[in-house]
Structures are given as C-alpha cells and as structure tokens.
Amino acid sequence: MEGKKQRRAAANEATIRDVNEGIERGQWPGEEDSPVGFRCECARLGCNRLIELTVREYEEIRAHPRRFVLVPGHEFPDVETVVETGPRYVIVEKLDQAGEVAEQHDPRG
Ligand SMILES: [Zn+2]
C-alpha cells in the first residue's frame, strides 16, 4: 500500500477510535468487566462490525497508541502486524507511516 492510502486508512481508523473512546466513557463506573460492543477499528471503509470487549480489555489495548482491535480477518498485513489473536478479536500494531499517523491521532496523546 502506498503512503497516501496508508495515511488515509489510518485517519479513518483514528476516527473510529474516537467513537470507541466515547462508548467507553458512556459506561457506568464499576462495569469494567461487563461486555460492551466496541466498533471494529479496521481500515475497511464502511465497516460497522461490533466486537464485544470489557472496558478493562479495551483499556489494555489502548494503552499502546499504535494498537487497534479488529474483527478476525479484518487485518491488513501490509500496514500492521498481529500481536494477539483471540476467538472474538485480533489486536494489531501499526507499522511505519500508519503507526506514525496512529500516534499523531492518539486522542490521549
Ligand atoms: Zn472491520
């Protein structure tokens, strides 16, 4: 994937991550271990799949600015490397330019 496309895909993912931050903030205190439907953070335009994660699980992923959570099979090996695979989701880490954009758009950065 060329640089321009990489950056656009990464910006799209950053937007979805903002949505997920909002979902997380909408949870009641004390519900860190209840499953919540977070949006798939993949680069596919129009993907609106949901992934069930607890707030605690989501926090562990979001502790790394280059990491995103995806529906299994939605990863793009060109721009990201899978760091964890589970039955419900995969966690990927962005490489190169996509990683830099992810860090720049980190809502907590
Ligand atoms: Zn997806």
Residue 32: per-residue pLDDT: 86
Residue 99: left if φ>0, alpha if ψ -120 to 50, beta else—which one? alpha
Report CA(93)–ligand 1 centroid distance (Å). Answer: 15
Report CA(74)–ligand 1 centroid distance (Å). Answer: 5
How does residue 1 score in pLDDT terms, banded at 50, 70 and 90?
Answer: low
Beta carbons of 13 and 68 less than 8 angstroms apart:
yes
pTM of the predicted model as reported, rounded to 2 decimal places: 0.82
pLDDT digits (tens, 9 = 90+) for 59-99: 999 999 999 999 999 998 888 999 999 889 999 999 888 88
Enclosing H/E stretch for 60: helix 55-62
Beta carbons of 37 and 50 less than 8 angstroms apart:
yes
Report CA(91)–ligand 1 centroid distance (Å). Answer: 12
Ion ligand 1 neighbours (CB, 5 A) are 40, 42, 47, 71, 74
pLDDT digits (tens, 9 = 90+) for 2-54: 678 777 777 778 889 999 999 999 998 888 899 999 999 998 888 999 999 99
Beta carbons of 69 and 75 less than 8 angstroms apart:
no
Report CA(9)–ligand 1 centroid distance (Å). Answer: 12
